[in-house]
Amino acid sequence: MEGYNVVVVGAGLVGEQMVHVLKKRNFPAKSITVLARSERTQVIDGEEYHVRPTTADAFDGMDIAFFAGSEGEKGASQTFGWEAVKRGCFVVDNGDDFRMDDRVPLVVPEANADAIAGHQGFVANPNCSTIQMVAALAPLNRKARMKRIVVSTYQSVSGSGQAAVRELEEQVRAYAAGEPLKVEQYPYQIFMNLIPQISSLKDEFPGYYGEEIKMIKETRKIFGMPDLKVSATCVRVPVRRGHSEAINVEFESPISPEEARELLAAQDGIVVIDDPAAGKYPMPLDVEGRDETFVGRIRQDPGNPNALDLWVVADNIRKGAATNAVQIAEIAVERGWLKR
């Protein structure tokens, strides 16, 4: 058998990028089928696809199923994920329905690729903001075990889907024309504003919104550190695409900024841009369409000799979703962890 029959569930921002990344990275796909809620013809990455409705039978004969887990297809894995496994698929799910399920490895390849080996046919992609933070912290944690993480995120509107991107663009146009700004996707206007709320408040961690809780719980699971102290503040910002994070991380022993730069530069998938005197540091404008995680502003915490401050930026639709999912499947194929 040469190549795999691949199915992508979801044809929104993430689903389209999954198709693009599969082709860009020359994934050994014999065929790529796209499923969504409704049947239609859609041009994805310059190629016309007959998008089929998502049904259980659509997974018959498929080897790998990527669930985009965004926009209209959110929750599709809850209905069809394990059914796809029963029908012989290796499932990689970008949705949040099974991330904390004990049966399901939660994987960022830079941090815990070996966890894929224990899969039961189903692997979960973490939240976009978690992925880039964990990718940046993994090589440092291997050197000196982490004790505490405090992170503030600056998350682009693309994290809410295509409709939110359109709303930002429409608000910009309306403002320039002196017209009223329409607000639908967020509780407040996003143009010229910051909104320190992503998702809703949860009883589990009083005062924390859902996105912040995801970062706490997912980071602990990925690193296998259930008692790791993590605090997150997640903010939606008027940026089209690309999430940024300011991270303060405390270790059990010191790591100098110079050593941190060396460790990060040696890690596949990490790009270090760190020359603040010359005004060189990662920015979301520069990382759109890139698969790597970018790190800069690496510096010693002046109040704690065992702590560093980092600035981490990544394309939330690529590394934060599509690319990470495809990397999981690549590793499963390369290491023989995918049943044929």
The residues annotated as belonging to the active site are: 128, 243
Are 230 and 307 in contact by the 8 Å Cβ rule? The answer is no
Question: What is the distance between the alpha carbons of residues 197 and 212, in angstroms, rounded to a whole number?
Answer: 9
Listed in sequence order, the residues at least 6 apart from 310 whose beta carbon sits closer than 8 Å to its beta carbon are: 136, 245, 246, 247, 249, 260, 295, 296, 297, 298
CA distances from 39 to 53, 76, 121 (A): 5, 15, 27
Both structure tokens of 35:
């499923």
| Neighbour order of strands in the sheet with 243-251 | 229-236, 146-155, 243-251, 307-314, 293-300, 270-272
Question: What is the distance between the alpha carbons of residues 196 and 217, in angstroms, rounded to a whole number?
Answer: 19
Question: What is the distance between the alpha carbons of residues 26 and 24, in angstroms, rounded to a whole number?
Answer: 6
What separation, in Å, do the N-terminal and C-terminal C-alpha atoms of the chain show?
8
Both structure tokens of 125:
């992609």
Backbone angles phi, psi at 207, to 5 degrees: 90, -10
Question: What is the distance between the alpha carbons of residues 128 and 245, in angstroms, rounded to a whole number?
Answer: 11
Backbone angles phi, psi at 30, to 5 degrees: -75, -35
Both structure tokens of 187:
């509780």
